[in-house]
Structure formats: structure tokens, C-alpha cells
Structure 1
């Protein structure tokens, strides 16, 4: 009898592990494909003779298309199951990935970059799929493990230059396999097809579909809840800003500290890795201590770090009597941010973002257990759109003031707004839960 009751539990655990493992590997690959133009852009610019503006649009349109369909992808996952949706998405993305390797003009490359950006929508699929398979007390950790696939942002940074240098420009098999930078998207196209086959063969045949049979409009109803939009703002801070800084930091290191590009890329990786790999830690903390408490830690760390990073180099000038200072002025509190303190603070921002990303998504199945696809899709969509809009905002703020530190002023303000909104919401919830304590700070014993 004991053996019989244990069998379903063992089967259930095996199925969960299959879903989590395959979805995480698939998402890592899709994330690498989504952001591959960050590295491929240099040889592409050289071959096509592009300006910096033209080059920037390749990454921008890919990021945009990787954001737009997250809501729909999440809803479809709840309705039809992650196994079907993820497999189809992998196969579809393989087509434009291959076409990128064959592009012969900038216009064609821009179109294929937009289409291959569809890979970014895989995040919503994996979130809804794993939430359907894992119990509430394990969802934070499971979603954090899956979200660690964000580390795919670094995959092309590490393998791309080596592949480009080692594969001959003429390619192989008489050019059937392209060479140079074109080999990277070709390789990704092959890997996407193989991943789709593995996804279909090695995940549970009987999938979970919490939205099956529900009307489409009913699945959209939770999006009218202001809480969903608050979670979306949180995700702009911890994910949209992560995507933006991943693209912006190499330029910052080069322009502000005068580092060569390869050093700037390596130091940027010190931000990317904790911001990606610590998601499981954030999920574990959220399961154990509560997602809202973890968000307080996240916002507090980011506010402190971005405040220090936003301070411009300079000093304070005191005007003193000439009997004390012959020229009447004294310079005090000299402040200069050198590269290593800067890197340490950016690393802390990455740690906070990695933990905070998991905490945001821990909220969703708790408040919307039947609508993880729709709510998670909208939150992911708006967060990813933040990654599209923040770099131009950084650039305009810097152009307006002439200070490169305005990048972190923008992040400080955005984080402060999110933290204040969250805290006011918590206070309102506490007042509603215990109205008799509203306005009372100290306890006065009876008869005192």
C-alpha cells in the first residue's frame, strides 16, 4: 500500500523536474538568441558599413519584438500548455535565426532581427508552465531557477568572439554552412530545432492547462487590477533596467573610465551574472521570508547603490575670509568614483536585481493562481519594454546635463517611486487589516 501511494509522488516530482530542466535550458538558448546582436553588431557594422544609429536599431527591434507578445504567450500557455507553445516558439524562432545568417542587405537584416527577437517572449511561457506544475510553497524557487536563464545574455558574449575568429569566412561545405559572424545565428538555428525536439520528447505528454476552456476575455479580467500594474513597475526596475544596463554599461566603461572594449565587456559580465544567476536565491528567500520583505531588501540596496553611483565627480567650494585663505576659497570633500568602487556598486545592483526578479514573480501565483499566464505575461511585457525605452532615456538625460552619472539618477528615481508605492500599499493593507490601530503608534496600558 505504501508503495502504491508513493508512486504518484515520484512520477509528479519527475514530471516537474523535466518541465523545469527543459524549460530553463530552452529559455537560456532563447535569451542568447534574443540578445545576440550585442556582440555580432561589431562585425555586422564593418561588413555593411553601418552607422552607430543603424546598428543600435538591430538590437532595439529585437528587444521590442521580444516584449510585445509576452501577454499573449502567457495566455496561450495557460490555455494549451507549455509543452506545445514552447516547442512551436522554438521552431518558429529557428527560421529568422537562419535568415539572419543569410542576410545580404541592412533592410533584410533589420527585418530578420525583428523576427528573431520573438525569442524573448519565451519567458512568459516558462513562467506560466512552471507555475502550473509546482506547488505554492516551491514556486518561488522554481520560477527563480527558470529565470536564471537570463544568463543567456552572456552566452554570445563569451562564445561569439571565439567562434567568429575560428570559423573561416568562407564557411564549410562550399558555403552551405556560413562562416564568420554568420555562423553564430546559423548555429543557433540548429540548436533551436534540436531544443524543440528535446522539449517535445522529454517533457510530460499530459500537460497542465489551468486556462483550458476559459473564455479569452475572462483570462484578461485580472489585468484591470491596479496590483498587476504595480508589479509591472517593480519588474521594470529589476528586469527592464537589467536589460538596459547590460547594453549600456560597456559604453559607460569605455566613455567614462577609458577602458578598452574587451575589459568593459568582462566588467559588465560581473553585473550580468549575479543579476541572472541569483534568481533561484531570490526565489528561495521569497518562499521562506515572503516576497514583499525581499522586495524591501531589493529596493533598499538599489537605492543606496544608485545614489552613490549618481554622484558626479567634484568637490565643494567654501568661501572663507582672506585671513584664513589668501584666495578666499577652500576646496573640500573631493569625490571621484574610480573603476573598482564603481564595479562593486554595479555588482550590488546586479545582486539586488537578480534576487528582486524572483520576488516579483513570486507575488503573481500567490495573488493570481489561475491567471499566471496573463498576469505574468503583462508584467514581463512591460518589464521588457523598460529595457527598450530606458537606454534612450539614459542618453537624453546625459545629453541634457552633460553628466554620464545621470544613468543612475534615472534608476534611483524609478526605484524610489516603486519603493514608495509599495510601502504606501503595505501601510494601507495594515490599516485595513487592523483599523483599530490606525493612527496609534504607542501602546498605553489600561489605567495608565
Structure 2
């Protein structure tokens, strides 16, 4: 795909004539690359939030306060947010496949070092969190790796399927607490390197950069989208949808153990159920946005998420909290897919850097939610204020969407002939 068009062929004899006719999804792109992008994203997300399920055990060993626990699980999110911009630049300069290979080697090497040397202080957890941020920054690599192969009418599905790799957070929640109980939490860091190494080999065999990628630009040119208001709107919307998803994924094990006294293993199962719901619907959100428009999908997402998070703030039982978290994650997961159905329509020739910028904003939103929950708990003895404020941010996002939707439909969406 080049400049928003699909091109016939895909090899050296590419027909330069753009083709706008719709084609079947599976024959319109490169399935092995889509699989590689999903696997890379999936395992990267597994280790990105690894400190969340391990947090109760780590906190007990290192005697961490509630605020320190919140900052510990939020640090990988913030590091991932910043590194997404770096990866977005790298993707447009050396290609997504090589960028992904570099990032995976850094994460595997960092986890092996943490396992062999040990993590013995709060500062050590923060250093580990920064290394895990490279895994979170996989977002800015995996999505353009897949997206560049697909035409505009299939962007929602392609980005949704590749982005479904955020289901890796389920594996962290399911297995990390059990493995920590069996072998100790530090051993989990070393054990994670085995599946990461297997996926790295599969990635190198399956992934292929799409033909016709945009030529590298001067460094300053990568920040040109920030001169347009639409880039900031997309960043704000994703800070709520993805920020809510990853912030909850990193924090729920702590919440369930602190709020209801659940064991780390049971809390991990509860967290896994919530995260699975949000991961499952991401491609559905992209497909729904393809069908009815990303704006309509996002509008519903923000209302449902605000309602669910406000309800969680007053939940008195495990079952009611769990039901509301699942509802919130379903909405936020669909919203993640909807945002990235819209971004390629508006910034088709700048998808690499826009993926990095929008992904960075999502990471910042996740850092805010995870850290604010810890601060709220320490200052007030309850998580209620943290949930209520984020519910308010979802309503602010809904108001912002209502403000820009008419201009979007009458300007760039009409020019491209796409449904938003």
C-alpha cells in the first residue's frame, strides 16, 4: 500500500496504477506478516505489564507503599509511551521488521539480566520498568508492519487483528502469579524469556516489510503532524481508550488483592478475565468502525466506559466490580480498534510516526491511571477518586468528539470517500 492506495502484485513488477476496488481481506495483504505482527505484539504486551501481576509479591518483599506500587506498575507504561515515538521514527527510517528485531533483543537481554542479577530495591523495579517499556513500544512497530500491506477499506480489520496482540496481558495475569508462587517472582523474569525467544525466531522467519514504503524524511518532518489539530484529537482519544485499557491491566491485580483481600492467583484470574474481554473486542471494534464509522463507535465507547468506571468507584462486592470492569474493558478495547480505523484514513502517508505519537498518548494515559490509583489509595485509603476522575475524562473525550465530528465528515473523510 502506498499513499492510501492498494497496488496490484507486491513484487518487483508492481503495477503503478492505483486500485480502489474493494478486495477480500485475506487476499488483499500479507498473512504471514500479519501473524508475525500479532505474535510479536502479543508476547511483548505480556511482558510489558508483567510487573502488575507480580506487584503484590514484589511489594511484600521490598516493603513498598501504595504510591510506590502504583508508580512501579506505571513506569513501564510511561517508558513505553516515550519509546513509541522513537520506534515510530525508526520504523519510517529502517523499516518495521528491523525495528522490531532490535526491540525484541533489548527486552530479552534486559529480562535475562534482571533474572541473573536480581531486583533488590524500589529503584531496581523502576529500571526494570524502563526496559519493559521497550516491549510496550512494540505498538509503534507491529501495527505499521501489518497496516502497510492492506488497502484503506481493510485498515480497521488489519489494525484490529494485529492490535489484538494486547491479549498478551491475559497471559501475564493468568500465569505470572502462579509461577511466582511456585518458583519466586524473580524467576518469572527468566522464564518469560523462553516464549519471547521462540516468537523472535518466528518473527524473523515470517515478517516482511511491505513494498512502496514512504521514503525517510528529515527528522523534523516527522513531527509535522503535530501542527494539525486532528493529530492532537486522536492522541487525546487514545489516551482514554488505550490508557484506560493498559492502566487497568497493570493495576487490577493490586486492586483485587487490596480491595477485597483476594489471593494473588485469584486476583490474577479476575484480571485475566477483564483483559481478555478488552483484547477480544479490539478487532471487533475496528470491524464495527469499518461498518458504521469510527466516530459513532467511539461515541458509544466513551459513554459506556464512563458509566462502568463510575460504577466501579462504588462497587461493594467482587462480583459487581468484576462485571463493571469487564464492561469497561469491552468498551475500551472496541475504542482502541475504532481509533486506529480512523488514523490511517487521515494520515495514510504518515502512519508510522502517527502510530508512534498516538500510541505514546495512550501510554501516557495508562501511566496516569495506574499511578493515580496508587496515589488515591495512599492519600484517601480508597481507589474511588482515581476511577471517578478517569470516568470524567471519558466524558470530556465524548464532548471533544462531538465537537470535531462534523468537520471531519465534511473535510478529509468526504475527500477520501470513507465512512467515519
TM-score tier, shorter chain, comes to 0.7 to 0.9
**Alignment check: 8 A CA contact 1:38 1:247 kept:** yes
Change (3 A) 1:123 1:245: same
Equivalent of 1:64, from 78, 81, 91?
A: 78
**Alignment check: 8 A CA contact 1:291 1:360 kept:** yes
Change (3 A) 1:420 1:56: closer
Change (3 A) 1:91 1:250: closer
2:394 partner SS:
helix
| Mapping 1:28-427, distance limit 5 Å | 28-45=42-59, 48=62, 54-104=68-118, 105-106=120-121, 107-108=123-124, 110-167=126-183, 180-204=184-208, 207-208=210-211, 210-310=213-313, 312=314, 337-397=316-376, 404-427=383-406
Alpha-carbon deviations, 1:82-109, whole Å to 9, x = none?
A: 1111111111221111111012442555
Deviates more, 1:107-116 or 1:210-219: 107-116
| Mapping 1:9-20, distance limit 5 Å | 13=27, 16-20=30-34
RMSD: 3.0
TM-score of the pair, normalised by structure 1: 0.78
TM-score of the pair, normalised by structure 2: 0.83
**Alignment check: 8 A CA contact 1:81 1:207 kept:** no
Q: Distance in 1 between matches of 2:65 and 2:57?
A: 13
Q: Structure 1: where are the runs of 5+ without partners?
A: 168-179, 313-335, 434-448
Report the structure number with the largest CA radius of gyration: 1
Deviates more, 1:342-351 or 1:143-152: 342-351
Q: Distance in 2 between matches of 1:98 and 1:194?
A: 15
**Alignment check: 8 A CA contact 1:79 1:210 kept:** no
User: RCO higher in 1 or 2 (8 Å CA, sep ≥ 6)?
Assistant: 2
2:137 partner SS:
helix
Aligned residues: 391
**Alignment check: 8 A CA contact 2:41 2:142 kept:** yes
**Alignment check: 8 A CA contact 2:177 2:265 kept:** no
Q: Distance in 2 between matches of 1:52 and 1:408?
A: 16
Change (3 A) 1:133 1:32: same
**Alignment check: 8 A CA contact 2:242 2:336 kept:** yes
| 1:160 Cα deviation from its structure 2 partner | 2.2
